[in-house]
Chains A and B, each alone.
Chain A
Amino acid sequence: TQLLEQSPQFLSIQEGENLTVYCNSSSVFSSLQWYRQEPGEGPVLLVTVVTGGEVKKLKRLTFQFGDARKDSSLHITAAQPGDTGLYLCAGSGTYKYIFGTGTRLKVLA
């Protein structure tokens, strides 16, 4: 069974701090996505990474796909209260698309 485990599960930080969220698996994924979910809404796609070692930037967010395509990280620089939400990684496995366990981030003003 393919699993995507995220860490940390919960994170509460002050505005302006940096943070990194990890998404790990023992399986190889052909691509990996990161979603953000805000309270009362469905998850919204942030980025897709496809190539091992790929790095993508979205303003203050930096996404990296591991060289072996088994893991990924999301780094946020100078976090803002608007970054608060649930961050989910998801990947195309062998037979289907699976979601990670989620990281719940709260950024305090």
Chain B
Amino acid sequence: DAGVIQSPRHEVTEMGQEVTLRCKPISGHNSLFWYRQTMMRGLELLIYFNNNVPIDDSGMPEDRFSAKMPNASFSTLKIQPSEPRDSAVYFCASSPQTRDTQYFGPGTRLTVL
């Protein structure tokens, strides 16, 4: 079975540009999570969805970040405009239900110059 799929794996962009990260969760999983990981702050939950509905976006740093889940098999995390401090590894994870074990994708390493 395919695991969580993320694209792109690496993204290098310039400050001010729009960045879109993509995620395909494991089929049949009802919850999807977006995380950001840095050495300084560790693994931070940005937002999570349950049955395609955003449940908790309190971790989204500011209005420049937005996330959507138009259907059960696809989600995007968008940063507009991007800033150098957004440089991090962004992970998508899915789970059968919100409080179940999460399965992580390989991550997208974002570098904003």
Contact of A96 with B56 in the complex, beta carbons under 8 Å: yes
| A31-70 at interface with B (beta carbon < 8 Å) | 33, 40-45, 48
Once the chains bind, are A42 and B48 in contact (CB under 8 Å)?
Answer: no
Q: Interface residues of B, CB < 8 Å — how many?
A: 19
Which B residues from 8 to 35 make CB contacts under 8 A with A?
Answer: none
Q: Which residues of A contact B (CB under 8 A)?
A: 30, 33, 40-45, 48, 88, 90, 92-93, 96-99, 101-102
CA distance A98 to B103 in the complex (A): 14
Residue among B4, B56, B104 with the highest chain A CB neighbour number at 10 A: B104
B52 at the interface (CB under 8 A from A): no
Q: B91 and A97: CB pair below 8 A?
A: no
Which residues, 33 to 58 on B, are CB-close (under 8 Å) to A? 42-43, 45, 48, 56
Contact A96 B48 (CB under 8 A): yes
